[in-house]
C-alpha cells in the first residue's frame, strides 16, 4: 500500500532557529501533499496544500513566510518553520493523496513533534 515517510519524528530547537521537516511518498507519486498541525487533544488543522512545481496554497491565518513549503519533486515536500518560537511547538503531520482502490485517500506520515525552547 501507499507509504508516506516523514522525518524527523521529533525535534527540539532553540527559539529563533529554523527547522525543516521532510515528507516523502515512498511508492507513489504525489503531485499534492497536505500539511496539518495538531495541538494536544485537538483536531488536525490544515495549514497548506503543497503543489509539485508551484507555490503552496496556505489556509487563512497561516503565515506563509513563517511556514515555508517546498515541493521540488513528485515524491518530496518540505516544511520549514522559520525563526521558531515556543508557540510553534506542535505536532506537524504531512499527508499525500493517492487514488489507489479508486478512492482519493489520504495517507499520513508518522508526524513530527516540534518543541521550541
Partner 1 sequence: GQQVMQIPQYQHVQEGEDFTTYCNSSTTLSNIQWYKQRPGGHPVFLIQLVKSGEVKKQKRLTFQFGEAKKNSSLHITATQTTDVGTYFCAALFFNKFYFGSGTKLNVKP
Give me the least distance between CB of 75 and partner 1, in Å please.
Answer: 18
CA 110 to chain centre: 11
Selected from 7, 28, 31, 49, the binder of partner 1 by CB under 8 A is 49
By beta-carbon proximity to partner 1, the closer residue of 75 and 97 is 97
What stretch of H or E contains 80?
strand 76-81
46's grid cell: 490544515
Selected from 21, 34, 35, 79, the binder of partner 1 by CB under 8 A is 34
6's grid cell: 516523514
By beta-carbon proximity to partner 1, the closer residue of 14 and 102 is 102
111's grid cell: 508526524
Selected from 32, 70, 82, 89, the binder of partner 1 by CB under 8 A is 32
Residue 89 buriedness (CB in 10 A; 0-12 / 13-18 / 19+): middle
- Binding pattern to partner 1, positions 51-80, x when CB under 8 A? --------xx--------------------
Amino acid at each position: 500500500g501507499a507509504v508516506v515517510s516523514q522525518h524527523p519524528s521529533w525535534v527540539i530547537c532553540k527559539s529563533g532557529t529554523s527547522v525543516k521537516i521532510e515528507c516523502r511518498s515512498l511508492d507513489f507519486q504525489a503531485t499534492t501533499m497536505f500539511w496539518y498541525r495538531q495541538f494536544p487533544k485537538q483536531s488536525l488543522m490544515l495549514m497548506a496544500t503543497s503543489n509539485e512545481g508551484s507555490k503552496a496554497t496556505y489556509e487563512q491565518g497561516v503565515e506563509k513566510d513563517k511556514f515555508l513549503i517546498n515541493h521540488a519533486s513528485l515524491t518530496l515536500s518540505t516544511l520549514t518553520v522559520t525563526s521558531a518560537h515556543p508557540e510553534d511547538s506542535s505536532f506537524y503531520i504531512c499527508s499525500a493523496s493517492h487514488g489507489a482502490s479508486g478512492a482519493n485517500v489520504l495517507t499520513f506520515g508518522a508526524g513530527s513533534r516540534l518543541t521550541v525552547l
